[in-house]
Amino acid sequence: MRILVTNDDGISAPGLWDLVRAVQPLGEVVVSAPDRDRSGVGAGLTLHSPLRIQNYASPVEGVAAHAVDGTPGDAAIMGIHEISDGPVDIVVSGFNSGNNLSADVLLSGTVGAALHGFTNGVSAIAFSVHHVSEAGSPLLADLVRAMVTATAAADAGKPALLNINFPLLDAANCPYDQHDHSLTDAGPDGVIADVVETALAPRLMADRIVMEHRANRTMYWNTRESVWKPGDPVSEESDLGALLSRKVSVTPLGGLLEDGASYPATPAVIAAARAVLRR
């Protein structure tokens, strides 16, 4: 299996290399990622200037890495059509530092890179963790390998697009402890309760413009703030609802682009991940 790994946090981001290490046992891994942090650019592409590719000193032996001076979407497309020595079997994007949830996934470069894998005919998964410090967890690595393997096996000429979020493993640091959902049902810290299929929650963030005066100049900063607070109601079937219950959220996005089409990868991915949790 040939796996293309990309992200939006940039090629030097620790989460990218934790994802590379997780999938390396599955086959040939090629890295094509933005040369710097390009978070929040969604599925944007560079269409009015040329792109450049530079070799990057990979910290993982046996993995070729390339930095693209463009968006995550540019990096994914370059990886599929220019950098890889042959057909790519699956694109994995992440680990993003911070969960990508709700309608705000449309702004996520992590999801944007996966989207361009999907629109180029390749199954793709966007992986996000609540804290990047947990991206190196052996449990997450096992789950990722199971999910990637199941997605590739279920492809059968019909690529899938999945957005997968992992809950915070350390419950002691969970910012959602004021919510009505119980975090104790999952057992001790580091135990994930389940893996479930989810829908996108309503938008969780709002846009806010901050004006700043410097000397004789006026500048404007586009900032974002949460409109959801711990204790606010949330659907159990949403991606946020899953994380609040210490569950892995698997949201199929491909059907949103193809008139609600279903994908065999989703139940296969959930079954494979649950098998890991039962070990």
pTM: 0.90
What is the 3-state composition of the chain as percent helix, strand, coil, each rounded to the nearest 5?
Answer: 30, 25, 40
Query: Residue 268: its pLDDT value, please?
Result: 92
- pLDDT tens, 208-237? 899 999 888 999 998 888 888 777 888 889
Q: Please provide the CATH number assigned to the domain covering 2-201+232-277.
A: 3.40.1210.10
The DSSP call for residue 81 is I
Query: Residue 207: its pLDDT value, please?
Result: 86
Average pLDDT, whole number, for the chain? 88
Find tokens 């086959």 and name the residue. Answer: 27
pLDDT of residue 67 exceeding 50, the answer is yes
pLDDT of residue 180 exceeding 70, the answer is no
DSSP reduced 3-state for 227: coil
Query: Residue 190: its pLDDT value, please?
Result: 55
Could you give the angle at which helices 265-277 and 138-154 cross, rounded to 10 degrees?
A: 150
pLDDT of residue 193 exceeding 80, the answer is yes
Type and span of the H or E element at 239: helix 239-244
Nearest-angstrom CA–CA distance, 197 and 211: 41
> Taking the domains of the chain in order of start, what are their residue ranges?
2-201+232-277
- pLDDT tens, 88-145? 999 999 999 999 999 999 999 999 999 999 999 999 999 999 888 889 999 999 999 9
Nearest-angstrom CA–CA distance, 244 and 167: 8
pLDDT of residue 157 exceeding 70, the answer is yes
